[in-house]
Amino acid sequence: MRHVFFLVMILTPIGCDTVPTHPDNPIHLDILAKHKTHLYPNIDPFLGEKLHPNEQQLAYQIADEVMYTVDRTYDQENQQAFRDAHPKENGCVNAEFHVKKMLPPQLAKGVFTPGHTYEALIRFSNSSENPKGNDHDADARGMAIKLLTRFDTPSGHIDTKPQTMTQDFIMINHPVFILDDPSDYLSLVQAQNSTNTFVKLVTIPFALGLTGIYNAYQTIFQDEKVKNPLQTQYFSMVPYRLGKEDDPERIAIKYSAKAFVPPIQHMIHPYPEIGRSCVTIDSEDPQKNDTNYLRTALRKTLQTGDACMEFLVQQGAKGMSVENSQIEWKDQGDSAFESVALIKIPKQHFDEKESPCENESFNPWHAGEEHLPLGGVNRLRKVIYPIVSEYRYQLNHLGQAKRSHQAGIE
């Protein structure tokens, strides 16, 4: 059936632009008005950034439409608003981010300062908009990392005066994005919000284009089933700057994270002081009746011992565009991924009912000057993410007030 759906999308002979069919929402308008006073991000021509036509205006139109996505998926019974993307959490875990002690100078910048250790929070998720979806359904998996506190001691011991900071890394288990044009992005979200099936079938393929359709298919219907959130490789899909704006040696990079495989006994350990407790992750085939098997697998792994992942950086080679997020940067030669840090998730129990991640906003623009996002998709995120996050917070705050009132709590 899934092949038929994508065949219909590819062969649909006509396309059309969609327009919002919903009335203006006063809360939307208030939030949009407030955020329109914020500065739109500057581009970095040195690294190849170029603005799309009417990009800033389209960014706010997309943000408005995404707020309608939040409205559409709102849980009326429990009066709860969910994230517009990746609403189902497979686990929110505490972690440590250990930067290698030796890195080449072009990578040793910002949070990648050799020897630094950070306290982190990691959220694993599914990309489907259904917060109660079945893990057995074809879907993309997400990994969002938030660095919270830096410990400056070179030995990795906890400093008595840690420095609080924020640096987010947003990734998914596929190396490319489905589109990069703001007008196509708007058409796609409008079509997804439409109640007209014909509009969806006609508009979505033309918003994505052939490359986007292929990327969407490859993202959702991957050949290998993910048995454990710790076993798949995650990618930032879009690029980021490494180096400050005035750094003549700044470069464009992409991020990735994958399972760390402990070396066999006679080999040199790349993280001798902190990585020896890392367990080998070996998950069983998921139970068919367990619709939350990814959470189950993650919990079982962390009951066994410390789980570890490598954090990798890929340098953009000559000719690799920072604006085209639909084309993969080949993992080879000067553009091969290089390990810069070990992510250590200590043995722990996490409570999905009281998840600390649900009150957090993961945003690629939560970044230091050395790590600012690049490209059109990221510039749109600069507008969309904080607007939708604020709207979700307002709805949930109102929902909590209603529940308290209904329970007689003042």
The token duo for 55 is: 């990009």
229 CB burial (10 A radius; 0-12, 13-18, 19+): buried
pLDDT at site 359: 84
Q: Measuring CA to CA, which residue among 386, 380, 373 is closest to residue 40?
A: 380
pLDDT at site 410: 43
Written as tens digits, the pLDDT of the chain (410 aa) is: 444 444 334 333 334 445 556 778 999 999 999 999 999 999 999 999 999 999 999 999 999 999 999 999 999 998 999 999 999 999 999 999 999 999 999 999 999 999 999 999 999 999 999 999 999 999 999 999 999 987 655 554 555 455 566 799 999 999 999 999 999 999 999 999 998 888 888 899 999 999 999 999 999 999 889 999 999 999 999 999 999 999 999 999 999 999 998 776 656 667 777 888 888 888 889 999 999 999 999 999 999 999 999 999 999 988 889 999 999 999 999 899 999 999 999 999 987 677 889 888 999 999 999 999 999 999 999 999 999 999 999 999 865 555 444 444 44
pLDDT at site 407: 47
2-406: CATH architecture: Beta Barrel (2.40)
Q: What is the pTM of this model?
A: 0.90
pLDDT at site 164: 65
Q: Break the chain into its structural domains and give their ranges.
A: 2-406
The token duo for 312 is: 């990798």
